[in-house]
A and B are shown apart, each in its own frame.
Chain A
Amino acid sequence: MSALPKQIFHRLQDDKEIEITINKFKNVTDYGGQRILDILLICSQRFKEERFESCLQLAQCVLDIVWEMLNTGDWKEVPVIWRKVYTYGAIYKAAAYYAMGKLEQCIHASDYGLLMGAPILDNILNDIISAAAARIHPCKQTTSIDDALANAGDHHRNDDIDPQRQITQLSCPSLDYFRKHYFCTKEPVILTDVIDHWPALGARRWSIQRLKDIAGHRTVPIEIGTRYTDDSWTQKLMPLSKFIDEFITMESNQESGYLAQHQLFEQIPELRTDICVPDYCCIIDDNNDDVDATVLTNAWFGPQGTISPLHHDPYHNLFAQVMGRKYIRLYPEHESENVYPYPTKLLSNTSQVDVEFPNFENYPNFANAEYLECIIEPGQLLYIPPRCWHYVRSLDISFSVSFWW
């Protein structure tokens, strides 16, 4: 048995706080949720009585039924209250595991609460994770993988890039200059000397070992399969250390795994302190009234050879390279017809063409489409305008951070 830090333990067994929290969920009773609140109440009582096995079972029962709610109907239409109830169940599950001394399971349960749920109780799950992480043994060393990183990789060199098509590089332009010449005109550009001060690139330089040390026990979503357009493509949740061991450092893995488009820095604040949102992300469109000031920060971490098929997004995108190199090709928005988007609504932002091995019989006009290209290296920042088509292939083990706004 291990004791949770006092302030966490106290909050989870304080009758008053439990009552207040459960009361906040009252509107689930409009959707038949009283039965779940009844279970949550008993679950919290069992925690208080230190009957942790029983607490765990009841919490699991809540998670199982709310999981069904979250999977019924369109995800976007599921009332957010269900995600909060899910998180409350995850909190008791994690706390019970902690109390039983099962720290890995505790972190695992907490991550499910963060990934599937919505923050409640001042994001107490992060406190539970920190407490568990402080007591847990570190993930095992990765033998000299970081040394190997320096030499490995696909030697796709800069001179393979057609100089005519090379994306312009610019050293740390002023916000105004960037706005006028790139943001407003929707021109892509590589910015250098902008993110050099990131701890991730200097004082606390990211390496496979460092990621493992900070976040090895954390559960993250992994895309399995080379391209998201493939039939066999799927997503799995697994601890980051398992992903590293099975998909990054093991060269013989036949399946390709990619931690892609995940808000890792929301989930793991310890990593967030190693990066900064670039100032350029505060530039906004003049003629856009419903401006949403939030910047979506996503992590992209994978082995050499991950591919994001040619697609476009509705956002301004600053794409920061932290580890390894990536080959990127851009087709302007006005080439849309020549890149043959999928006819289905779901994939209408994705091209059917295999960019580096195009089938010109099926897609003859693709040969006429004009494009730009580059190899982006650690410390560089690529600006991809909204609806600009982009194709990305990693040349090394790679970690990138994208900022969408």
Chain B
Amino acid sequence: MTLIYGFGYNLHGQVDNVLDTCNTHMSYNQPLLMAKIDKDHRIVSMTAGWSESVIITRDTKTDRTSTHAWGKSCHDQIPRNDILAASGSWDKLMLLSTKKQLLLCSNLEDIANTLKAIENPSEQTYRGISCGDLHQLAITTDEQVGQVDKSNSSWCFSLLPTLQTTRVNLVSCGKEHALILSITGEVFSFGRGSRGQLGHDTLDNEGNPRVIEALQGLQFKLVTCGGWHSFAISSSGDAYSWGWNQSYQLGIDSNLEANEVGSCIATPTLIEIENENVQAISGGSKHSACITESGKVYTWGWGKYGQLGHNCYDSVKVPQLVTALSEKLASTVTCGFWHTIVSVSE
């Protein structure tokens, strides 16, 4: 059986599904059991924004998917049975259907009226999505990457012109930047760079995806954006971070860094976690969480809303074990703006 735990900001019921904002707990600073998923189901997608949490599971026998949603805006509001992946941001929610079509909800507070299929004249099919505050990216089934943008009154997909010859494995959007991982393990970034989140050793913006030179020569298996920060995990299990370190969300002791400009670190920097390899990592607005090879959950950064799960509201400078989950084997983790969701097996 898989158990889902959540901790952090909960005013909208994104952790406990109590939907009356007047009478809910503002936050949980310890992991709370959100759901039990029986052994025939596998988690295929996990996302969280500011006020909601969404998990999609697949029945390994029937191949059917089901959607579980927490939080006032999403609970009861999104399609139940034909969704393969979900990705949420501040006000948008992007969905990938089992027919490999894209749907975009342009206002989370009104899903019923604003959830629409994206214009698809060329009958494109898709395999990956990521929704940020300023960008929405999708990967086609033939591994090309493009943006979903509003043109006139409808939402359209268009390939990123400069990456048409690059086959893409993974995309991730932060609040104002995006990361792209090619199938050969190269990492690209674009968008706003004012917090160093692009990793090009400057605070400049990039209009088009640009390969992160500091990561070249290594192969990467995962990239993911926090609010204004970024992570990449190499194929050997080393985790790197860069971007805004204002609340210590990078997990590195910034006082020791030479490339520091204010509280921004614009160059990828290795994160040390008890000499363990890292299998999964995720960033919230200003906090971060990861799972090590041995299945332990570590969190660091901003802790004001309990999003670190350390039984307090303190911020933490370097990765610290979530002791309440230390006896369990964690497999996936995702950070909402101010909350964290972890799946563990029992």
Chain A residues within CB distance 8 Å of chain B: 29-32, 34-35, 38-39, 42, 57-58, 61, 64-65, 68-69, 71-74, 231, 233-234
Contact = CB atoms under 8 A, between A and B. Distances in A.
Contacts of A64: 304, 338
B12 interface: yes
Nearest to B91: A32
Given A68-B227, A231-B261, A234-B262, A39 B11 contact: yes
B209 to A, nearest CB: 19
A73 B72 CA distance: 27
Given A35-B51, A231-B261, A72 B133 contact: yes
A42 B228 CA distance: 30
A17 B22 CA distance: 21
B108 A32 contact: yes
B22 A30 contact: no
A65 B339 CA distance: 13
A65 B50 contact: yes
Nearest to A224: B262
A61 B227 CA distance: 17
A57 B91 contact: no
Given A30-B107, A61-B26, A72 B175 contact: yes
B340 interface: no
B189 interface: no
B134 A61 contact: no
Interface in B193-239: 227-228
Interface residues on B, range: 20 to 34
Contact of B134 (A32, A34, A72): A72
A38 B72 CA distance: 12
17 contacts: A32-B109, A38-B21, A58-B26, A64-B304, A64-B338, A65-B50, A65-B337, A68-B90, A68-B285, A69-B90, A71-B175, A72-B176, A73-B134, A73-B192, A74-B192, A231-B261, A233-B262
Contacts, number: 53
A42 B304 contact: no
B338 to A, nearest CB: 8
Given A65-B50, A68-B175, A73-B134, A32 B107 contact: yes
B2 interface: no
B73 interface: yes
Interface string B94-113: 00000000000001110000
Contacts of B9: 61
B117 to A, nearest CB: 21
Nearest to B202: A344
B4 to A, nearest CB: 23
Nearest to A46: B22
Interface string B1-15: 000000001011000
A14 B209 CA distance: 52
Given A35-B73, A61-B11, A234-B262, A68 B109 contact: no
Q: Which 6 A-B pairs have the closest CB atoms?
A: A32-B91, A34-B109, A72-B175, A234-B262, A72-B133, A72-B176
A233 B21 CA distance: 42
Contacts of A69: 90
A32 B21 contact: no
A35 B262 contact: no
A71 B175 CA distance: 9
Nearest to B21: A38
Interface in B54-109: 72-73, 90-91, 107-109
A234 B262 CA distance: 6
Given A29-B109, A234-B263, 4 more contacts: A42-B21, A71-B175, A71-B228, A73-B176
A87 B263 CA distance: 26
Interface in B120-140: 133-134
A39 B109 contact: no
Contacts of A35: 12, 50-51, 72-73, 109
Contacts of A65: 50, 337
Contacts of A57: 26
Interface centre among B26, B108, B192 (most CB of A within 10 A): B26
B26 to A, nearest CB: 6
Contacts of A68: 90, 175, 227, 285, 337
Contacts of A39: 11, 21
Interface string B169-201: 000000110000000000000001000000000
Contacts of B263: 234
Contacts of A31: 91
Nearest to B134: A73
Contacts of A231: 260-261
Interface string B246-272: 000000000000001111000000000
Contacts of B337: 65, 68
A30 B338 CA distance: 22
Interface in B17-37: 21-22, 26
Interface centre among B108, B228, B285 (most CB of A within 10 A): B285
B228 to A, nearest CB: 7
